[in-house]
């Protein structure tokens, strides 16, 4: 991760490539053991662990912060006017709290990880039909409009939001359009 406690972080690294040279694509994440998300992220490595860092847009980072606050897990997040995101971890037993400071990269994406465990978002996690529509939109972000899954009017905006979020975090890359 690109942070040090109470310090300005280094630059966000660029995503890596699969061994065959294909750029990594978006992936859907959730906080482990939760029904939150799906969070559209861009892995920084083709092999990641539950504590690996991934790139997220400001909108997704804001949703992650809201969900952490709702979960009351002892991790608080706050955005400063300059876009800096600070996570504060409250420790039990009178230990001093830990701060992790994140600055967005030149595209407004945040490298978030190492503070809690990520899990892949999928059917094993409890979710609503709205979350499923958003996830499907993100998964189909490289598809042409003709190939995209059609939804009822009540879900089409969530599907479109998922596609938009995937395009934003991936910088509109079209690495293998179908």
Total domains in the fold of the chain? 1
pLDDT attached to residue 25: 84
* Residues 20-67 pLDDT 10s: 555 668 999 999 888 899 999 999 887 889 999 999 999 999 999 999
pLDDT attached to residue 95: 75
Asked if the model's pLDDT at residue 13 lies above 70, the reply is no
| Least confidently predicted of 2-6, 75-79, 140-144 | 2-6
Q: Are 145 and 137 in contact (CB under 8 A)?
A: no
* Residues 147-157 pLDDT 10s: 777 777 789 89
Asked if the model's pLDDT at residue 17 lies above 90, the reply is no
Domain that holds residue 61: 27-126
Q: Are 178 and 50 in contact (CB under 8 A)?
A: no
Tell me which of 144 and 56 has the higher pLDDT.
56
Interatomic CA distance for residues 147 and 138, integer angstroms: 14
Exposed e or buried b per residue across 1-29, where buried means at least 16 C-beta atoms within 10 angstroms of its C-beta:
bbbeeeeebeebeebeeeeeeeebbbbbb
Rounded percentage of the chain residues whose pLDDT exceeds 70: 82
* 167 inside domain: no
* 152 inside domain: no
Split at pLDDT 50, 70, 90, the class of 99 is: very high
CA-only gyration radius of the chain, Å: 17
Split at pLDDT 50, 70, 90, the class of 174 is: low
* 66 inside domain: yes
* Residues 63-97 pLDDT 10s: 999 999 998 888 999 999 999 999 999 877 767 78
Asked if the model's pLDDT at residue 178 lies above 60, the reply is no
Q: Are 152 and 175 in contact (CB under 8 A)?
A: no
Asked if the model's pLDDT at residue 126 lies above 80, the reply is no
């Amino acid at each position: 991760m690109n942070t040090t406690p109470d310090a300005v972080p280094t630059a966000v690294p660029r995503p890596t490539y699969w061994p065959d040279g294909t750029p990594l694509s978006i992936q859907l994440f959730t906080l482990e053991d939760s029904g939150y998300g799906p969070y559209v992220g861009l892995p920084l490595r083709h092999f990641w662990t539950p504590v690996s860092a991934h790139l997220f847009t400001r909108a997704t980072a804001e949703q992650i912060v809201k969900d952490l606050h709702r979960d009351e897990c002892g991790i608080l997040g706050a955005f400063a006017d300059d876009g800096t995101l600070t996570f504060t971890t409250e420790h039990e037993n009178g230990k001093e709290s830990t701060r992790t400071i994140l600055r967005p990269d030149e595209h407004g994406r945040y490298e978030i990880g190492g503070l809690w465990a990520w899990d892949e978002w999928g059917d094993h996690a409890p979710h609503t039909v709205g979350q499923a529509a958003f996830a499907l939109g993100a998964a189909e972000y490289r598809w042409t409009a003709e190939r995209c899954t059609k939804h009822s009017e009540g879900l089409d905006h969530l599907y479109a939001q998922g596609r938009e979020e995937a395009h934003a975090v991936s910088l509109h890359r079209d690495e293998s359009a179908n």
